């Protein structure tokens, strides 16, 4: 008789868990996976994918406006929220089915219920009450949106989870938060025609991003009509006859049909039984891991957002893959966390990789900055005066480009390729020697010749 029911039991069928399950199974492991909501996890069901679909929808407004400058006249364009949500739901259901089919193809046994850790080798399935044993347990339970539970009226607010399922398009939206999810939803609702206010407790949106990007996106969002109230928080929220009233510090009251909180996310470890079996958690409840996935209990591992390191889908996927190859496939490798490209799908969008100017200065001391701010070609005829920003951060001693930061159309697409160059250690001279692709916006990256001198700073 076999010692354990499974070689691997994965808790959470999201980005990291599904990848780990599939790869471990492909190496011959007997694998089971439990999912309490829907297969695919946050990214597929209520994160990256549905968000990007809403982003696409929200940008048609610009396209329609710009088209006039190119000779088109468009009358009678109308937007229907219910049609968009139905189309989005179909696509998410399709993707969920694809994920389920992949698990089935690899003979991964699926438990469509919540699971908790009962022992170093034991998993309890909470709905059926069964306990099963596994040689290894992988915690891949992701994260959940934070709410300020002590705020009076918090029961009236939604998070990104609910924003994807609203029955009606809200006409007035107030969003609390200044991170990427907050600014993305602000742009989505604005693009779809809502009045949008963003309330953020700090002085400027997108903490941790390059200052030029933060400033440029603030300017662009403001000039698109998004009202940004920085340095304030809600003190209470009330239901009114016409919707909701959000009272904020300083006494201002903002009225809304929906108030959305996007004030960060926390690892999903509550009630998971981890402390009971000796798995160490960090201050905010994240599973503490050594190296890429090992917890303080040898048979229990964790990957993805539940470890609260770099909370992005490609990172969770790679962690799950490396874990499965290493532990079940006799192919040891670890994840390299350097130069992870990332995007903010606001409108205009941000693509960024490597060090911000501020980080590079702290890391290398002497750096050079190259930047350009210009109206993209399409904007001229369109009569749009929004500017595109491109910025290179270069370590002076080695001439290596250590940061690429872009705000403007297709920034994410451009930065994905720039990330290859950054990882390969490309120098500014390599950028300079690369032939421009004309006419494009991205060609600016290889034609930036003048170092940017800060006002009052001598040339280096
Ligand atoms: P998840 O994908 O969250 O999967 C965890 C799964 O575990 C969930 O399905 C959950 O239901 C399940 N689960 C939890 N507890 C249990 C339990 N006890 N038993 C059974 N099942 C359980 N990342 C990007 O890279 N790009 C983006 O553009 C992007 N946009 C985002 C937009 C939004 C609105 C949000 C919320 C996130 C976004 N992310 C984005 C982040 C991305 O979704 C996560 O980094 C990624 O999903 C993490 O994968 P994971 O496997 O760690 O966890």
460: in domain: no
For strands 234-240 and 342-344, give the pairing: unpaired
Q: Answer yes or no: is pLDDT of 29 > 80.
A: yes
Pair 210, 391: CB distance under 8 Å: yes
CATH number of the domain to which 176 belongs: 3.50.50.60
Read off the pLDDT of each residue in 423-445 and give the average, rounded to a whole number.
Answer: 97
Q: Answer yes or no: is pLDDT of 457 > 80.
A: no
Which atom of ligand 1 lies nearest, measured to the CA of 265? Answer: 36
Q: Answer yes or no: is pLDDT of 321 > 80.
A: yes
Task: Give yes or no for residue 319 CB within 6 A of ligand 1.
Answer: no
Looking at the fold, whether 440 and 295 belong to one and the same domain comes out as: no
Nearest CA to ligand 1 atom 32: 47
202: in domain: yes
Q: What band does 440 get if pLDDT is binned at 50, 70 and 90?
A: very high
How do residues 218-253 score in pLDDT, each as one tens digit? 999 999 999 999 999 999 999 999 999 999 999 999
Which atom of ligand 1 lies nearest, measured to the CA of 305? Answer: 52
pLDDT at residue number 24 = 98
- Cis peptide preceding 348, ω within 30 of 0: yes
Residues of the chain with pLDDT > 90, as a percent, come to: 97
Looking at the fold, whether 124 and 270 belong to one and the same domain comes out as: yes
Looking at the fold, whether 60 and 138 belong to one and the same domain comes out as: yes
Looking at the fold, whether 67 and 191 belong to one and the same domain comes out as: no
Rounded CA gap, 429 and 452, in Å?
Answer: 16
Q: Answer yes or no: is pLDDT of 1 > 70.
A: no
* End position of a domain, from candidates 274, 295, 328: 328
Tell me the C-alpha to C-alpha distance, in Å, between residue 243 and each of 156, 171, 257, 376. Answer: 10, 10, 5, 40
| Domain extent for 362 | 342-447
How do residues 151-199 score in pLDDT, each as one tens digit? 999 999 999 999 999 999 999 999 999 999 999 999 999 999 999 999 9
What is the Å distance from ligand 1's center to 86 Cα? 22
Q: How far is CA 348 from the centre of its chain?
A: 16
How do residues 105-149 score in pLDDT, each as one tens digit? 999 999 999 999 999 999 999 999 999 999 999 999 999 999 999
Looking at the fold, whether 372 and 392 belong to one and the same domain comes out as: yes
Task: Give yes or no for residue 21 CB within 6 A of ligand 1.
Answer: no
Q: Answer yes or no: is pLDDT of 455 > 90.
A: no
How do residues 32-46 score in pLDDT, each as one tens digit? 999 999 999 999 999
Look over the chain and give the mean of its residue pLDDT values, rounded to a whole number: 97
Rounded CA gap, 460 and 454, in Å?
Answer: 11
Pair 160, 260: CB distance under 8 Å: yes
How do residues 328-340 score in pLDDT, each as one tens digit? 999 999 999 999 9
How do residues 65-116 score in pLDDT, each as one tens digit? 999 999 999 988 999 999 999 999 999 999 999 999 999 999 999 999 999 9
Which atom of ligand 1 lies nearest, measured to the CA of 16? Answer: 51
Number of neighbouring beta carbons within 10 Å of residue 13: 31
388: in domain: yes
- Mutating to test ligand 1, I would choose from 47, 49, 286, 302 the residue with most ligand atoms within 8 A of its C-beta, which is 47
Number of domains in the chain: 3
Backbone angles phi, psi at 371, to 5 degrees: -150, 155
How do residues 397-429 score in pLDDT, each as one tens digit? 999 999 999 999 999 999 999 999 999 999 999
Task: Give yes or no for residue 177 CB within 6 A of ligand 1.
Answer: no
Nearest CA to ligand 1 atom 6: 12
Which atom of ligand 1 lies nearest, measured to the CA of 114? Answer: 19
Looking at the fold, whether 211 and 246 belong to one and the same domain comes out as: yes
How do residues 283-314 score in pLDDT, each as one tens digit? 899 999 999 999 999 999 999 999 999 999 99
Which atom of ligand 1 lies nearest, measured to the CA of 303? Answer: 52
Q: What band does 458 get if pLDDT is binned at 50, 70 and 90?
A: low
Looking at the fold, whether 185 and 125 belong to one and the same domain comes out as: no
- Mutating to test ligand 1, I would choose from 95, 115, 124, 141 the residue with most ligand atoms within 8 A of its C-beta, which is 141
438 is catalytic: yes
- Mutating to test ligand 1, I would choose from 34, 35, 43, 56 the residue with most ligand atoms within 8 A of its C-beta, which is 43
Read off the pLDDT of each residue in 359-380 and give the average, rounded to a whole number.
Answer: 96
Looking at the fold, whether 111 and 206 belong to one and the same domain comes out as: no
* End position of a domain, from candidates 263, 278, 307: 263
Nearest CA to ligand 1 atom 26: 48
pLDDT at residue number 454 = 79
Task: Give yes or no for residue 17 CB within 6 A of ligand 1.
Answer: yes
pLDDT at residue number 52 = 98
Task: Give yes or no for residue 316 CB within 6 A of ligand 1.
Answer: yes
CATH number of the domain to which 413 belongs: 3.30.390.30
Task: Give yes or no for residue 35 CB within 6 A of ligand 1.
Answer: yes
- Is residue 167 packed enough to be buried (19+ CB in 10 Å), middle (13-18) or exposed (0-12)? exposed
pLDDT at residue number 453 = 87
pLDDT at residue number 193 = 97
Pair 389, 213: CB distance under 8 Å: yes
Looking at the fold, whether 184 and 291 belong to one and the same domain comes out as: no
What is the Å distance from ligand 1's center to 141 Cα? 8
- Mutating to test ligand 1, I would choose from 50, 310, 313, 349 the residue with most ligand atoms within 8 A of its C-beta, which is 313
Task: Give yes or no for residue 246 CB within 6 A of ligand 1.
Answer: no
Nearest CA to ligand 1 atom 37: 47
Looking at the fold, whether 32 and 72 belong to one and the same domain comes out as: yes
- Is residue 410 packed enough to be buried (19+ CB in 10 Å), middle (13-18) or exposed (0-12)? middle
Looking at the fold, whether 168 and 70 belong to one and the same domain comes out as: no
């Amino acid at each position: 008789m076999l010692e354990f029911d499974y070689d691997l039991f994965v808790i959470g069928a999201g980005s990291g868990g599904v990848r780990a399950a599939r790869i471990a199974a492909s190496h011959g492991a007997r694998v089971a996976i439990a999912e309490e909501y829907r297969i695919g996890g946050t990214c597929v069901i209520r994160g990256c994918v549905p968000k990007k679909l809403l982003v696409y929808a929200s940008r048609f407004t610009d396209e329609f406006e710009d088209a006039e400058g190119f000779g088109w006249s468009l009358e009678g364009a109308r937007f229907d929220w219910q049609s968009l949500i139905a189309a989005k739901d179909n696509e998410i259901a399709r993707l969920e089915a694809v994920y389920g089919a992949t698990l089935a193809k690899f003979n991964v046994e699926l438990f469509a219920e919540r699971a908790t850790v009962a022992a170093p080798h034991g998993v309890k399935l909470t709905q059926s009450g069964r306990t099963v044993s596994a040689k290894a347990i992988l915690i891949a339970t992701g994260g959940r949106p934070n709410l300020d539970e002590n705020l009076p009226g918090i029961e009236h607010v939604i998070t990104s989870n609910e924003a994807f399922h609203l029955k009606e398009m809200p006409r007035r939206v107030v969003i609390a938060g200044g991170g990427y999810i907050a600014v993305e939803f602000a742009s989505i609702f604005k693009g779809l025609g809502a009045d949008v206010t963003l309330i953020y407790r700090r002085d400027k949106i997108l903490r941790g991003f390059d200052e030029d990007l933060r400033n440029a996106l603030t300017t662009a969002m403001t000039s698109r009509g998004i009202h940004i109230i920085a340095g304030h928080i809600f003190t209470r929220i009330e239901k009114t006859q016409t919707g909701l009233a959000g009272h904020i510090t300083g006494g201002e009251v903002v009225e809304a049909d929906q108030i959305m909180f996007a004030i960060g996310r926390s690892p999903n470890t509550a009630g998971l039984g981890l402390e009971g079996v000796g798995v160490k958690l960090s201050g905010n409840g994240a599973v503490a891991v050594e190296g890429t996935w090992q917890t303080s209990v040898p048979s229990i591992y964790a990957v993805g957002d539940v470890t609260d390191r770099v909370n992005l889908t490609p990172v969770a996927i790679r962690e799950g893959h490396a874990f499965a190859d290493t532990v079940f496939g006799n192919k040891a490798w670890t994840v390299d966390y350097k130069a992870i490209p990332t995007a903010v799908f606001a409108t205009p969008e941000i693509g960024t990789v490597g060090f911000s100017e501020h980080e590079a200065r702290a890391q290398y001391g002497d750096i050079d900055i190259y930047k350009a701010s210009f109206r993209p070609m399409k904007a001229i005829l369109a009569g749009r005066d929004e500017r595109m920003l491109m910025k290179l951060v270069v370590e002076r001693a080695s001439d290596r480009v250590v940061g690429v930061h872009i705000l403007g159309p297709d920034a994410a697409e451009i930065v994905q390729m720039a990330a290859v160059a950054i990882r390969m250690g490309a120098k500014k001279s390599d950028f300079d020697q690369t032939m421009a692709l004309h006419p494009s916006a991205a060609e600016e990256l290889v034609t930036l010749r003048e170092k940017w001198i800060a006002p009052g700073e001598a040339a280096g």
